[in-house]
Amino acid sequence: MRLPPVVLLLLAVFAEPAATAQSVYHLQYNFNTAADTTSYTSFLLLNNNGSGLMKTKYKDPVSGQDTLVQRQTEEQYLVNQEGIEDTNTLLIKTIPAATNQIQLADPVIIFRMNPATGYFEPAGISKDQNDPVIQPGTFFNASLIEQKELKKEFVLQFFNKNEELYTSLFRPKTRGFSPAEKNMKLHLIVVGDIEDSTIGPACNKDLHRTVETFDSLRRYLGITGFITTTIAGKELSKMNVQKAVENLSPAANDIVVFYYSGHGFRTLGENKAYPNMKLKTLHTNRKDVLDNSLNIEDIFVAIKNKGARFNLVMSDCCNDDILSTNISGTKPGKTRGSGIEWSEQNVRALFLDKKPVSILVTAALSGQRAASNKNFGSFFSYFFKTSLEDYASRSKNNVSWEQLLQEAKRQTVLKANRTYCAEPKIPENVCQQVPLYRIE
């Protein structure tokens, strides 16, 4: 099946070398209070899946010694007393560090949406995690550090030469991919219920994002063979999905990816942990749904038996009753990226293992629904994409699919915990969504 014109347009738009949207900032701040007049300078790395790392350097006011503290970060929107998210204010919260040093404040970096660019930009800093407001007199300066500005001298202010991030960023470039590796093919099947009245726009975003991701991988590897099948709109059907899988004929060195975004369900007493895919937009009754569905685990087995080097089968859908509907939530925040390049070593570890690897992954456990935003897409698909980009980048070392999928899972769970499945917005109505995966 040919690619729709809009997907072809996306392939042209994203025809750039692979780089991540990770953001590196140099922060300088002083709270200028009677209790704290210390000047701080920090290295802040924000991964595009919401996780991050902050290293802060300052002079201990008691001992006078130079001190360096490392903390992890996580992002969330500002939430008012009624539990409503302010989607124009993004908070980067530092997780308290395990340190025997003086009591160091765990600050919150406040980002605000710039409507002219669509990115969140640093606006200030607060010492109060519970009430993050910028106090009068606070000095704050933040600079985005581009890839070309990530010089050794700057990074060595916060890291030593043996630390993972330093060695990853400045690892010598390797020999490149061999002609045999470039001759492999990447087979991509994307399936989406883009005409559904409730989740169609989100599914459409998901399909575009998936094509973008794996086209970036294909271009980074230098692969010319990119065989893409899109099953969506009026072509969405059980027969077309079965036919696409049957027609797959990968060579032993090839990469195969199957991706589904749409409605999913499970039947009473079903012993499979992974969901069934609804492969028809309009349904008249439960029998009609069952007659027009396939289980994602059956797709996985069929594709794995084709014998490719690497297989990824992924579904982003509910894993609940046939009549359940997806959850709607606010879209994640986005900061401007520093353009950190992908690492050949990491891409090899993920996609070019000498032993065949097959991965089955879905967005939610049995009895759970999947969350999305019609103007943004499905949350698990987004966190999978951003985690893949983060673990492929030069900011990581010794990467694995287990690490990558655990991070995508963690971010999805965090997002669900800040989303309500019903009114009123009380703790009892907080959503539960835990992705499930299997690596063989």
Three state DSSP letters for 270-339:
CCCCCCEEECCCCCCCHHHHHHCEEEHHHHHHHHHCCCCCEEEEEEECCCCCCCCCCEECCCCCCECCCC
d(CA 90, CA 120): 7
Mean pLDDT of 243-272: 94
Phi, psi for 397 (deg, rounded to 5): -145, 150
Would you state the structure tokens that stand for residue 20, as one six-digit string? 């991540």
d(CA 71, CA 53): 6
**Contact call for residues 31 and 104 (beta carbons, < 8 A):** no
Identify the weakest region by mean pLDDT among 40-49, 170-179, 224-233, 293-302. Answer: 170-179
DSSP letters along 231-246, please? EEGGG--HHHHHHHHH
Would you state the structure tokens that stand for residue 19, as one six-digit string? 């780089």
d(CA 327, CA 380): 12
Judge whether residue 6 has pLDDT over 70. no
Would you state the structure tokens that stand for residue 339, as one six-digit string? 């353009």
d(CA 37, CA 67): 15
- Classify burial at 64, counting beta carbons within 10 Å of its beta carbon; exposed 0-12, middle 13-18, buried 19 or more: exposed
Identify the weakest region by mean pLDDT among 14-18, 39-43, 51-55, 252-256. Answer: 14-18
Strand segments (E) across 131-249: 139-144, 185-192, 225-232
| pLDDT for position 417 | 85
Tell me the pLDDT band of 15, cut-offs 50, 70 and 90: very low
Tell me the pLDDT band of 16, cut-offs 50, 70 and 90: very low
| pLDDT for position 114 | 95
**Contact call for residues 361 and 421 (beta carbons, < 8 A):** no
**Contact call for residues 81 and 100 (beta carbons, < 8 A):** no
Judge whether residue 7 has pLDDT over 80. no
How large a percentage of the chain has pLDDT more than 70?
93
| pLDDT for position 339 | 84
Type and span of the H or E element at 54: strand 51-59
d(CA 142, CA 184): 44
How large a percentage of the chain has pLDDT more than 90?
65
Mean pLDDT of 356-364: 97
Mean pLDDT of 220-247: 96
Identify the weakest region by mean pLDDT among 94-103, 170-179, 230-239. Answer: 94-103
What 3-state DSSP class applies to 35?
A: coil
| pLDDT for position 175 | 63
Would you state the structure tokens that stand for residue 176, as one six-digit string? 């490149």
Amino acid of residue 15:
A
Identify the weakest region by mean pLDDT among 37-41, 97-101, 361-365. Answer: 97-101
Per the omega criterion (within 30 degrees of 0), is the bond before 332 cis?
no
Specify the higher pLDDT residue, 294 or 48. Answer: 294
Mean pLDDT of 276-285: 90
**Contact call for residues 44 and 27 (beta carbons, < 8 A):** yes
- pLDDT digits 0-9 by tens, 314-358: 999 999 988 777 678 888 888 888 888 899 999 999 999 989 999
324 Cβ contact list (under 8 Å, min separation 6): 265, 318, 369
Long-range contacts of 425-432 (CB under 8 A, 24+ apart): 425/82, 425/83, 425/84, 426/83, 431/327, 431/329, 431/369, 431/371, 432/368
| pLDDT for position 418 | 82
Judge whether residue 11 has pLDDT over 50. no
| pLDDT for position 227 | 96
- pLDDT digits 0-9 by tens, 58-87: 998 888 899 999 999 999 999 877 777 888
Per-residue DSSP letter, 172: P
**In 3D, which of 419, 423, 390 has the Cα closest to residue 51?**
390
Judge whether residue 20 has pLDDT over 80. no
Would you state the structure tokens that stand for residue 401, as one six-digit string? 């699919």
Round the CA-based radius of gyration of the chain to a whole number and report it.
23
> Torsion angle, CA of 345/351/353/356, rounded to 10 degrees?
180
Nearest 5°: the CA angle 155, 161, 162 is 130
**In 3D, which of 389, 394, 422, 393 has the Cα closest to residue 408?**
389
Q: Is the dihedral of CA 301, 8, 47, 368 positive or negative?
A: negative
| pLDDT for position 98 | 60
Identify the weakest region by mean pLDDT among 14-28, 64-78, 109-123, 421-435. Answer: 14-28
d(CA 410, CA 393): 19
Strand partners, 189: 229, 258
What 3-state DSSP class applies to 371?
A: strand
**In 3D, which of 105, 95, 55 has the Cα closest to residue 75?**
95
Amino acid of residue 222:
G
Averaged pLDDT score across all residues of the chain: 89
Type and span of the H or E element at 125: strand 119-126
